[in-house]
Amino acid sequence: MRPRACCLPGEYNCFLNVIIQSLWHCAAFRTRMAAHAPDAFPGHPVVAALLRLFRALDAAEERRLARKAGAQGAAPEPAGER
């Protein structure tokens, strides 16, 4: 399976992209962050933005897994109808 990457537009976002992906793949960090709402950090807009991004990534991952499960559960096409 090929890893998925965040895609941030702009020429100086490589460093930010690496940090976000590293945090995203750290399960303990992600779990602890998921326990909070973005509104819980009004004085910390970067933390709130990270929480919103993680929620969006969670939703995208759930959709991807649902599509994959649906594709694996689908009946194969008969050979003559391809």
Residue 78, pLDDT > 90, answer no
| Domain residue ranges in the chain | 14-70
CA distances from 16 to 1, 77, 81 (A): 24, 44, 48
Q: Looking at residues 51-79, what average pLDDT do you find?
A: 82
State the pLDDT at residue 44.
92
Residue 67, pLDDT > 60, answer yes
Q: What is the pLDDT of residues 4-62, one digit of tens each?
A: 555 656 666 788 888 888 998 999 999 999 899 988 988 999 999 999 999 998 899 89
Rounded to the nearest 5 degrees, what angle is found at the Cα of 25, between the Cα atoms of 72 and 12? 115
SS3 state of residue 31: helix
State the pLDDT at residue 77.
54
